[in-house]
Amino acid sequence: MAYVMNQACNPQALAEQEFATPTGLLDYAITTTLNSCIGVAVRVGNRFMVAHLVMYGQQIPYVSPANLQIFNPADADTVFAYIDSLRLQENSANFDEAILFGATDEWRNTGGALTNGYNRLRDLIRQRNNNQPPVSNDTGDGKHIIRIQGGNLNIRNIG
pLDDT digit string, tens, across residues 59-83: 988 989 889 999 999 999 999 999 9
> Model-level pTM?
0.96
As a whole number, mean pLDDT of residues 22-38 equals: 92
Give the model's pLDDT for residue 54: 97
SS (H, E, C) 63-118: CCHHHCCECCHHHHHHHHHHHHHHHHHCCCCCCCEEEEEECHHHHHHCCHHHHHHH
d(CA 133, CA 55): 21
Euclidean distance between the first and final Cα of the chain, in Å? 34
d(CA 129, CA 59): 28
113-144 confidence digits (pLDDT tens): 999 999 999 999 999 999 999 999 999 999 99
∠ CA 132-38-157 to the nearest 5 degrees? 100
